[in-house]
Amino acid sequence: MAGNAPDRTINLDHGDPTLYEHFWQEKGDRATIVIPGWQSMSYFSDLGNLCWFLEPEFAREVLRLHSIVGNAVTEDRHIVVGTGSTQLVQAALYALSPQDAQEPISVVSAAPYYSAYPALVDCLKSGIHKWAGDAAKFNKEGPFIELITSPNNPDGYNRGSAVNRTGGKLVHDLAYYWPQYAAISSPADHEIMLFTVSKSTGHAGMRIGWAFVKDREVARKMVKFIELSTIGVSKDSQLRAATVLKVVSDSCEHPGPASNQSLFDEVHNLMVARWRRLRGAVKQSALFTLPDFSPAFCRFRGQYFEPQPGSSSAAFAWLRCEEPLEDCQVFLRKYKILTRSGRQFGVGPQYVRISLLDRDENFNLFLERVSTMDLPQSAQP
Ligand code: PMP
């Protein structure tokens, strides 16, 4: 098959979580659902709930999984479901932006920030909010919204607010705060916290995310935004998400033998093994460097995370090319490896983000190529 030729292009630009397919194939029919033609026809799911399009079964499984993992405080919060956390970022921006201010509120995030944020904030050239760049350099007076991704996409580090003053409205994007990627040091406890199945269970195509929101009025406005943009969120997807989350919770509560680990253990082990091999290949090439992570205690596992020096399990490799290379994306493209340039994350072209969530065959081919890379003649010192 031409698609499997050893010299084919490998696309590691997107964080497409196809690595997870293996876990779900092993689960066979346990996550299969059948929806009869007459079911989930109404717009409405739960008229008594502020989020009237939230499927109660989905909400129950969300709460169950968080209570098992211990990665978020869920008491006294409103749950708002979204079409992916992408819609929830937009809903949160809508809810937090004053409608009658003289100028749009500034939206910032510390560089390197998730590359989609600037376009998500500015795509409609809204009169209520405006992208204002790197939170660490933001020094304008007045109110602001800060998007905080922790662990961060692209570099995997844990983060707090980076703006050097109080008074901001914070949105915590916790897409990667799950035990396959990071130590769960304590339950996150913030005003607005966003999660998604795309990175927790690998079901990006289901397009389901959820937010925990403390303030009722903010939650109400987020619900209004989703009502205006899509009149709710697919019930079919919520029902499927409920089933998938249930299987993940069951896999934690009743783990089987090694061949039947919990999703978090299986994916974590895969990620650690990938990182170990990646570090080996990067060291051998001497062209790049990778971030280092410190050991941290994971309460979910009851043990230290990444106790081996240099081990990690972050979803992306944030690769920096060393001199004399200047543009890492252009250099890797010569080897038919597509990556996302540091420029898109608000930093320079010496960085690229590489997805580590792809299928084995792509990851293996990528490593083979990294191990045999040479400086181009023109760049040799
Ligand atoms: N936030 C972050 C930090 C992400 O990395 C992603 C996915 N790449 C999203 C949000 C969007 O996720 P979803 O598929 O749920 O829209």
CATH, residue 362 = 3.90.1150.10
Whether residues 18 and 71 share a domain: the answer is no
Out of 228, 253, 278, a domain closes at 253
**Beta-bridge partners for 193:** 172, 212
Q: Name which of 122, 125, 127, 161 is nearest 145 in CA terms.
A: 161
Is ligand 1 within 6 A of the CB of residue 90?
Answer: no
Number of Cα atoms under 13 Å in the Cβ half of residue 149: 24
Whether residues 246 and 351 share a domain: the answer is no
Out of 253, 282, 304, a domain closes at 253
Whether residues 192 and 116 share a domain: the answer is yes
Q: Name which of 90, 10, 110, 13 is nearest 345 in CA terms.
A: 110
Q: Residue 53 belongs to what domain range?
A: 42-253
Is ligand 1 within 6 A of the CB of residue 153?
Answer: yes
- In the block, tokens 């979580």 appear at 17
Is ligand 1 within 6 A of the CB of residue 198?
Answer: yes
- In the block, tokens 């696309």 appear at 11
Is ligand 1 within 6 A of the CB of residue 84?
Answer: yes
> Which segments of 265-362 are extended strands (E)?
288-289, 296-298, 303-305, 316-321, 337-338, 340-341, 351-355
**Whole-Å CA distances, 369 to 280, 316, 333:** 13, 18, 11
Out of 253, 285, 318, a domain closes at 253
Q: How far is the CA of 86 from the centre of ligand 1 (A)?
A: 6
ipTM over 0.95: yes
Whether residues 105 and 190 share a domain: the answer is yes
Q: Does residue 294 fall inside a structural domain? A: yes
pLDDT tens-digit profile, the chain (381 residues): 345 677 899 999 999 999 999 999 999 899 999 999 999 999 999 999 999 999 999 999 999 999 999 999 999 999 999 999 999 999 999 999 999 999 999 999 999 999 999 999 999 999 999 999 999 999 999 999 999 999 999 999 999 999 988 889 999 999 999 999 999 999 999 999 999 999 999 999 999 999 999 999 999 999 999 999 999 999 999 999 999 999 999 999 986 665 578 999 999 999 999 999 999 999 988 899 999 998 889 999 888 876 666 678 999 999 999 988 899 999 999 999 999 999 999 999 999 999 999 999 999 999 999 998 876 665 555
Whether residues 178 and 240 share a domain: the answer is yes
Number of Cα atoms under 13 Å in the Cβ half of residue 117: 32
Q: How far is the CA of 381 from the centre of ligand 1 (A)?
A: 40
Rg (CA), the chain: 21
What is the helix (H) or strand (E) element at residue 86, kind and residue range?
A: helix 84-96
Sheet holding 129-134, edge to edge: 78-83, 208-213, 192-196, 169-173, 144-149, 105-109, 129-134
Q: How far is the CA of 92 from the centre of ligand 1 (A)?
A: 14
**Whole-Å CA distances, 9 to 127, 189, 217, 361:** 41, 42, 48, 12
Q: Whose CA is nearest to atom 2 of ligand 1?
A: 175
Whether residues 246 and 270 share a domain: the answer is no
Phi-psi region of 98 (alpha: psi -120 to 50; beta: other; left: phi over 0): beta
pTM for this structure? 0.96
Whether residues 59 and 203 share a domain: the answer is yes
- Angle at the Cα of 235 (from 216 to 242), degrees rounded to 5? 85
Q: Does residue 36 fall inside a structural domain? A: no
Q: Does residue 380 fall inside a structural domain? A: no
Q: How far is the CA of 251 from the centre of ligand 1 (A)?
A: 24
Q: Does residue 143 fall inside a structural domain? A: yes
Q: Does residue 28 fall inside a structural domain? A: no
Is ligand 1 within 6 A of the CB of residue 83?
Answer: no
Q: Does residue 242 fall inside a structural domain? A: yes
Whether residues 276 and 358 share a domain: the answer is yes
Whether residues 158 and 235 share a domain: the answer is yes
Is ligand 1 within 6 A of the CB of residue 40?
Answer: no
**Whole-Å CA distances, 75 to 69, 133, 191, 231, 290:** 15, 33, 12, 27, 38
Whether residues 320 and 205 share a domain: the answer is no
To the nearest 10°, the Cα dihedral for 7, 13, 18, 20? 120
Domain count, the chain: 2
- How many Å apart are CA 73 and CA 88, to the nearest integer? 18
Q: Which atom of ligand 1 is nearest to the CA of 88?
A: 16
Whether residues 234 and 354 share a domain: the answer is no
Q: Does residue 298 fall inside a structural domain? A: yes
Q: Does residue 79 fall inside a structural domain? A: yes
Is the CB of residue 146 less than 8 Å from the CB of residue 161?
Answer: yes
- How many Å apart are CA 281 and CA 369, to the nearest integer? 9
CATH, residue 226 = 3.40.640.10
Whether residues 297 and 350 share a domain: the answer is yes
